[in-house]
Each structure stands twice: as structure tokens, then as C-alpha cells.
Amino acid sequence: MYEFDYKRPASLADAVSALQAAEDGQLLAGGHTLLPTLKQRLARPSDLIDISQIGELSGISVDGDTVTIGATTTHGEVEGSDAVRGAIPALADLAGMIGDPQVRHRGTIGGSIANNDPAADYPGAVLGLGATVVTNNREIAADDFFQGLFETALDEGEIITAVRFTKPEKAAYMKFPQPASRFSLVGAFVAKTSDGVRVAVTGAGQDGVFRVTEMEQALDANFSADAIASIAVSDADLNSDIHGSAEYRAHLVGVMAKRAVAACG
């Protein structure tokens, strides 16, 4: 690692101030991506600003059909939350599929979506449920938030404070995990919402999470696995690596999407 200044602000306001004052500051929550990057000397921040202990950034609340999850809430807390499981079981199930127990008890929802790893699970839920990402400055719709490989709509110095989900009529997430990392080789989040069906795919796209509009239209007309059985996803813009070719991933998109629809009941 390179030398840096470590800071642990006590409030969101203090974190914003610390980030603005730093020459090249980076936020630390769970640290599952940042710390290995620092160890490999692929990042050289002037300041490491630890927001993991800021109480106002953590916690889960349910107000009617709205579930709000604080940015530093861990995957394990989401998985084990009766409130989340009662309102959006698919979201709790997804959290339980992330990594291993060590990852789930340190990694955070805000860190996951801010990093926007193409093989991460949470972007699928955020996009699939049409969630709203809340920051210290504004609210960003899921369709506008994810903007490419490791790219988001966040401005310089902007901090995610929470993610707000609306309870769907039904939803499910199915993924084919890479055995060693448990990252998603291909994952499909399917949700039937008041505004229509949404199908979000993780792990497969070169630019990260994406929606499959052809499947959404077919499921709007007939919400059944049979309705999307003949829909083929192009492999033109899909990942291809030692774990699976683009053609294989295209096939898995259909398989995982059909399983998710079937799991919705």
C-alpha cells in the first residue's frame, strides 16, 4: 500500500467535508473492493474516509410499500431482516447469495452499487425493482444510475445515503454463480411491479447490469416461463472469459430468467 491519511467521520456532514477537503479521497465502507485494490497498489488515495460507523447511513425501515435501506447496511443485515423478507423476499434472498459469510457481514449495499462491478448481485435488484438511489444531494432513478462498466451517475464527492425500493407484486432472483468467487456468472432479477414487468441481468453484460425489454414485453402479456422460452438474447455485447463464453452466457440469461419467473409463483 501507499501512504494515506485515515479518517473516521462521525456524521454524514463530516464525511462530506472530509471528502471535499481531500486531494484525492476515497470512501471506505465494507472495503471488499477497495482494500485489495490498495494492496495491489492500483489505487493511491490521499485520504481514506471510513463511513462504516456513521449511524445515519445504516438501518432498514419500511413505510407502507416502501423499503429504505441505509447505504452502509451489510448484506447479512438485509438477508436476516424480517422487514425486508416480509416486504420483498427476493431482495433478502439475493443478499444471502452474495459471496460467503465473511463478505456478507462486511460488504454493504451502498458500496456494491457505487462500485458497479458487472458481476455484482445488488445492481440486478436495484435495476430490476426500479429502485431509487438516494445521495447527500439528490435522488437518482435506477435506470439512470448504472452507466457502464464500473461507472455510475454519482458526481465527484457525492455519497450514497440509502436505497429506496417499492414493494413489487412478485419478484425473484436466480443466478449461476462462479464457484470460487460466488460472483454472478449470470443472474436474472425478475419483478412484476405496478408499472409493468422488469427483467435485469447481471454478470453477462460487458457494460454491467442491463434490462431485457423483449422479455419484459412478453411477460407483461403473459407472466409465465413459457412466454420467454423462445426469446434469445444476443451474445454480441456479452462477457467472454475463462469462466464462460459470450454464447454460453447468452444461453444462461434465458435459463436464469425462466427460473426466476417460475420462482415468482
Contact of 215 with 228, CB cutoff 8 Å: yes
Q: Which of 50, 68, 86 is the last residue of a domain?
A: 50
C-alpha 173: how far from chain center: 12
Same domain, 75 and 188: yes
Same domain, 31 and 93: no
Same domain, 104 and 148: yes
Same domain, 30 and 67: no
Same domain, 67 and 137: yes
Residues contacting residue 210 through CB under 8 Å, at least 6 positions apart: 127, 200, 201, 204
More confident residue, 10 or 42: 10
Mean pLDDT of the 176-187 span: 91
More confident residue, 205 or 32: 205
More confident residue, 129 or 34: 129
Same domain, 205 and 256: yes
Q: What pLDDT is attached to residue 45?
A: 93
- Phi, psi for residue 75 in degrees, rounded to 5: -60, -40
Burial 145-180 (b: 16+ CB within 10 A, else e): bbeeeeebebeeebbbbbbbbbbbebbbbbbbbbee
Same domain, 20 and 120: no
Number of compact structural domains in the chain: 2
**pTM (2 decimals)?**
0.95
Q: Is 167 helix (H, G, I), strand (E, B) or coil?
A: coil
Q: Which of 14, 29, 50 is the last residue of a domain?
A: 50
**179 confidence band (pLDDT: 50, 70, 90):** confident
Domain containing residue 99: CATH number: 3.30.465.10
Query: For cell 457505487, what's the residue?
Result: 114
CA distance 194 to 191: 10
- At 73-88, the pLDDT tens digits run 999 999 999 999 999 9
Q: Cα-atom radius of gyration of the chain, to the nearest Å? A: 18
**DSSP symbols for 180-230:** TT--EEEEEEEEEETTEEEEEEESSBTTS-EE-HHHHHHHHH--SGGGGTT
Domain containing residue 43: CATH number: 3.30.43.10
Same domain, 207 and 107: yes
Q: Is 37 helix (H, G, I), strand (E, B) or coil?
A: helix
Tell whether the model's pLDDT for residue 265 goes beyond 80: no
Same domain, 151 and 35: no
Domain that holds residue 12: 5-50
More confident residue, 2 or 64: 64
CA distance 186 to 177: 7
